[in-house]
Amino acid sequence: MIDSHAHLDEILCDTIGEVDKVILASSDFESAHKNTILAQKYDFLYPAIGIHPQSPTDGVDELEALIEKNIVAIGECGLDYSDENYDKETQIVVFRKQIELAQKYKLPLIIHARKAVDETIEVLKEYKNITGVFHCYAGGVKRIKKVIDLNFYFGIDGNLTYEDGLVSVVKNIPKERLVLETDCPYLTPIPFRGKANKPAYIKYIYKKVAEIWENSFEETEKIIDRNAKRLFKI
């Protein structure tokens, strides 16, 4: 199993042996730097570096200094209009800088789009030769084709286990475009909802997808893992 989006300060002991690979997403320069250090210590960790739209001025111009051969993605980055005091202009400028960084180094993007899915899609449409994943996809069924047309994937999290509306979304996402993520320590799946999330709980999201697909766990795991490996080149 592969957890394609996690936030970790240090490795939880029960992660080792429970998951094959973990993509470490970052939200600011400090967490991006920590990701690179963690990945040097543990060979099943793969670092992403990026600036979250809610902290848009925190180190975006310094990110390139962290680019190394083991960086697998730029992100999470994007647009977040959920706070009424959001700075739209700054968010877009910082988002564009990270798209251009991904283009330059031929890396996928990990996209954060909250209350701004359409706006995020419109920005991405301006660029060529990019790919990535809409982390914690919240665009509903009606935006699936738009995301596919961008050559992007869909990241689905633990809320799939308790939000019925996401079941229909997963049914409509092409199997070859789906990756799974915990977003730990957030979005903990049932049966541990209410507690801190961790990569080991990714198996409950795999199980839910297998149920939705009416497929075996083993076959579902093969498809999902193949997608993540293709996207992140791991």
Average pLDDT on 116-133 reads: 97
Cα(2)–Cα(180) distance, rounded to whole angstroms?
7
Would you say the C-alpha torsion 104, 109, 111, 117 has a positive or negative sign? positive
pLDDT digits (tens, 9 = 90+) for 63-107: 999 998 789 999 999 999 998 888 899 999 999 999 999 999 999
More confident residue, 11 or 123: 123
When the candidates are 3.40.50.1170, 3.20.20.140, 3.30.365.10, 3.40.50.700, the CATH number that belongs to 2-232 is: 3.20.20.140
Tokens 């990990």 correspond to what residue? 110
User: Which residue, among 14, 1, 44, has the nearest Cα to 180 in the 3D structure?
Assistant: 1
**Residue 219 falls in which region: left (phi positive, over 0), alpha (psi -120 to 50) or beta:** alpha
CA distance 140 to 71: 30
| pLDDT greater than 90 at residue 147 | yes
The full set of domain ranges for the chain reads 2-232
Is pLDDT at 14 greater than 90 in this prediction?
no
Residue 19 DSSP code: B
Rounded Cα distance between 150 and 25, Å, is 21
**What average pLDDT does the segment 215-219 reach?**
98
Q: What is this structure's pTM?
A: 0.96
Residue 18 φ/ψ, nearest 5 degrees: -90, -30
Read off the pLDDT of residues 154-180 as tens digits, 9 standing for 90 and up: 999 999 999 999 999 999 999 999 999
pLDDT above 70: percentage of residues in the chain: 97
Query: Quick one: pLDDT at residue 56?
Result: 65
Q: In what order do the strands lie in the sheet with 21-24?
A: 2-6, 21-24, 45-49, 73-80, 109-114, 132-134, 152-156, 178-180
What pLDDT is stored for residue 13 in this prediction? 60
- The pLDDT tens digits of the residues spanning 125-139 come to 999 999 999 999 999
* Rg (the chain; Cα; Å): 16
* Mean per-residue pLDDT of the chain: 94
* Span 2-26, average pLDDT: 85
Which residues lie below 8 Å from residue 232, measured CB to CB, with a gap of 6+?
4, 23, 46, 72, 73, 108
Per-residue model confidence as pLDDT tens digits over 15-68: 777 899 999 999 999 999 999 999 999 999 999 999 999 886 768 899 999 998
- Dihedral in degrees, nearest 10, Cα atoms 135, 57, 119, 8: 10
Confidence band for 123, pLDDT divided at 50, 70 and 90: very high
pLDDT at res. 12: 66
DSSP string, 112-134: EEES-HHHHHHHHTT-SS--EEE
